[in-house]
């Protein structure tokens, strides 16, 4: 499994033609507006992304010791924000297409880093942080991986974060196959 250290402060799937939706499964037309390559998402990927958000919110509801990342008391749950979600999905797709695990996307259409991607997707708030991972085939495994890393854990527990977007992309022909991007924000 691979994990890349997070940055503080702040999608090709095998199917095409599905649609962005919110937690209730309702279509969010503005979500597809950030980039044509992520005009939709599979039901399976969507479910995995929202499972990550549920697991993260479960962790945020408790005291957590992120070791060198700090000790955190319970934090407010994060709500999905469709524009951050679009930026995270684009980055997961971009990593899968390029078979690379990175916070930066030097040739990415939405910008070089997660701040630029969130802004390009139309997010009006402040991008707080990003976690990326590859090789994890389930929501449970990727969240466990992030929580076992001091910096990723601290990013998940960051008390100023209010909103989240998670992207998952599966590219069977790539060396790592499963790509994840999580961006948090605050307005």
Residue 35 in tokens? 């980039």
Q: Which residues contact 98 (CB under 8 A, 6 or more apart)?
A: 105
Share of the chain above pLDDT 70, in %: 78
pLDDT at site 105: 77
With a cut of 50, say whether residue 24 has pLDDT above it.
no
What's this model's pTM, rounded to 2 decimal places? 0.80
Distance CA 46, CA 22 (A): 9
Distance CA 64, CA 85 (A): 25
pLDDT at site 1: 53
Instruction: Give the β-pairing of 126-134 and 178-186.
Output: antiparallel
From 105, 79, 101, 80, select the one nearest 90 (Cα to Cα).
Answer: 105
With a cut of 50, say whether residue 164 has pLDDT above it.
yes
Coil, strand, or helix at residue 181? strand
Distance CA 159, CA 91 (A): 24
From 44, 127, 54, select the one nearest 88 (Cα to Cα).
Answer: 127
Distance CA 123, CA 44 (A): 25
Q: What is the pLDDT of residues 75-98, one digit of tens each?
A: 999 999 988 998 899 899 999 999
From 55, 40, 78, 35, select the one nearest 183 (Cα to Cα).
Answer: 78
Out of 3.40.50.2300, 3.40.50.1820, 3.30.499.10, 3.40.33.10, the CATH code matching 2-186 is 3.40.33.10
Comparing 8-12, 97-101, 176-180, which segment has the lowest mean pLDDT? 8-12
Give the largest Cα separation in the chain, rounded: 43
**Cα-Cα end-to-end distance for the chain:** 33
Read off the pLDDT band of 26 (50, 70, 90).
very low
With a cut of 50, say whether residue 2 has pLDDT above it.
no
């Amino acid at each position: 499994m691979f994990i890349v250290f997070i940055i503080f402060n702040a999608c090709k799937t095998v199917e095409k033609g599905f649609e962005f939706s919110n937690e209730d499964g309702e279509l969010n037309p503005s979500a597809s507006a950030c980039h044509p390559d992520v005009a939709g998402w599979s039901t399976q990927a969507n479910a995995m992304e929202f499972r990550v958000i549920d697991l993260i919110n479960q962790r945020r509801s408790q005291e957590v010791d992120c070791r060198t990342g700090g000790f955190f008391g319970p934090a407010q749950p994060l709500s999905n924000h469709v524009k951050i979600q679009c930026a995270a999905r684009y980055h997961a797709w971009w990593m899968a297409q390029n078979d690379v695990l990175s916070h930066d996307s030097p040739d990415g259409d939405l910008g070089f880093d997660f701040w630029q991607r969130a802004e390009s997707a139309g997010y009006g708030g402040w991008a707080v942080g990003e976690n990326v991972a590859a090789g994890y085939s389930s929501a449970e495994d990727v969240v466990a991986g992030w929580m076992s890393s001091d910096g990723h854990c601290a990013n998940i527990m960051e008390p100023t974060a209010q909103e989240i977007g998670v992207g998952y992309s599966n590219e069977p022909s790539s060396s790592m196959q499963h790509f994840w991007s999580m961006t948090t924000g605050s307005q």
